[in-house]
DNA sequence: CATTAAGTCTACTTAATCAATAGGATGAAT
DNA sequence: ATTCATCCTATTGATTAAGTAGACTTAATG
């Protein structure tokens, strides 16, 4: 499971994506409408800013806005930024590799080989999951007949 | 990432699968060869026993053994038993469903729809990942030429 | 039937991580 | 100068992860 923090980050990003190119959006607006504790959201947005996904403007008329286009922001990047590895085992992580302490021979480890495939497929799926696609899915669900 | 506990469980199960139908295996043997803290492993094996994956024999000549065949034990079941949900969000979990507190309308949530697909694919992969297949992969890796 | 070899059970500990919260500092607009 | 809004540092409380301690139960066997 991803953390609540990561979920909040995704909620906030979808919110910003829906208002892309409409100027800065207030933290307070996002917090209220997405039901995220405001102070917590502040910290999350700062992380997203440090990573270059969003940017901000201070003072009156300020707020946050998406720096990339909605089709360029995917779930793999967001989850890795907030939560760390997507892989189920440290030894199959691409961005956060660590040896399994108890492992005798990594190269011939059948468990590792298996979970390498799982990670590969999961990352592929999460890379495809962009803000744009999430919004499109939402629209499709809203228009679906009973 | 799965917990170390779940990884240990998998290591222990692969160990038992390799010695399937060879009588009870000592906890101490598994702990030593798989490099798992023995007392911790005891607790893990008890959980696997309660779930009917393994069984045990007490006293001299006792130990643990697989109750099902290696092709009947898959990673989805083991991970769910030890760690809980495989899904990345509580609202898309099949076995451990919980509503996302902050969600306004689950039915039309694009995020949920996206992560539903991710869970579906992940579970399918992990269901296919049986002890038998892990051992076969290990053998294949060992025989691979340089 | 006492001894020894095993698994079983209950409780505890220690450290890390999660999910926030508090309160002030900084910077931009008017 | 004032107000608005983000930025920064520190702290907290709860939960979970990872492992340990020690006594108890059961089964074989000499």
- Residue A25, classed as helix, strand or coil, is strand
Calculate the angstrom distance between C1' of D17 and CA of A56: 37
Which bases along strand C come within 7 Å of a protein CB atom?
4-11, 18-23, 26-30
Phi, psi for A74 (deg, rounded to 5): -115, 165
Cα separation, B46 vs B48, whole angstroms = 5
pLDDT, tens digit (0-9, with 9 covering 90-100), for A63-110: 999 999 999 999 999 999 999 999 999 999 999 999 998 998 999 999
Nearest residue to B91 (alpha-carbon basis) of B69, B76, B59, B113: B113
| Residue B61 Cβ under 7 A from any strand C atom | yes
User: Is residue B35 exposed (0-12), middle (13-18) or buried (19+ Cβ within 10 Å)?
Assistant: middle
Question: Residues A36, A8: contact at Cβ < 8 Å?
Answer: yes
Nearest residue to B54 (alpha-carbon basis) of B62, B39, B64: B64
Q: Which residues from chain B sit within 8 angstroms of residue A94, using beta carbons?
A: none
* pLDDT over 90 percentage in chain A: 95
Specify the nucleotide whose C1' lies closest to residue B84 (CA): D16
| Residue A62 Cβ under 7 A from any strand C atom | yes
Contact A36 B10 (CB under 8 A): no
pLDDT, tens digit (0-9, with 9 covering 90-100), for B67-126: 999 999 999 999 999 999 999 999 999 999 999 989 989 999 999 999 999 999 999 999
Calculate the angstrom distance between C1' of D2 and CA of A60: 12
Cα separation, A92 vs A117, whole angstroms = 9
pLDDT, tens digit (0-9, with 9 covering 90-100), for A11-30: 999 999 999 999 999 999 99
Cα separation, A97 vs A93, whole angstroms = 5
The CA-based angle A24-A28-A29, given to 5 degrees, is 65
- Residue B55, classed as helix, strand or coil, is strand
The pTM of this model reads 0.95
Instruction: Examine the pLDDT at A144 and tell me if it is beyond 80.
Output: no
Q: Residue A86 has which token pair?
A: 């997507």
């Amino acid at each position: 499971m991803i953390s609540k923090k990561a979920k909040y980050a995704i909620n906030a990003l979808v919110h910003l994506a829906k208002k892309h190119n409409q100027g800065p959006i207030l933290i307070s607006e996002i917090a209220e409408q997405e039901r995220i504790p405001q102070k917590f959201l502040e910290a999350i947005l700062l992380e997203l800013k440090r990573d270059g996904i969003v940017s901000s403007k201070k003072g009156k008329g300020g707020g946050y806005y998406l720096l990339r286009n909605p089709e360029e922001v995917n779930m793999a990047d967001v989850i890795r930024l907030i939560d760390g590895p997507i892989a189920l085992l440290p030894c199959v992580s691409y961005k956060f590799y660590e040896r399994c302490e108890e492992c005798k021979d990594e190269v011939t480890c059948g468990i590792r080989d298996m979970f390498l495939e799982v990670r590969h497929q999961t990352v592929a799926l999460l890379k495809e999951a962009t803000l744009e696609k999430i919004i499109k899915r939402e629209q499709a669900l809203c228009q679906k007949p009973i």
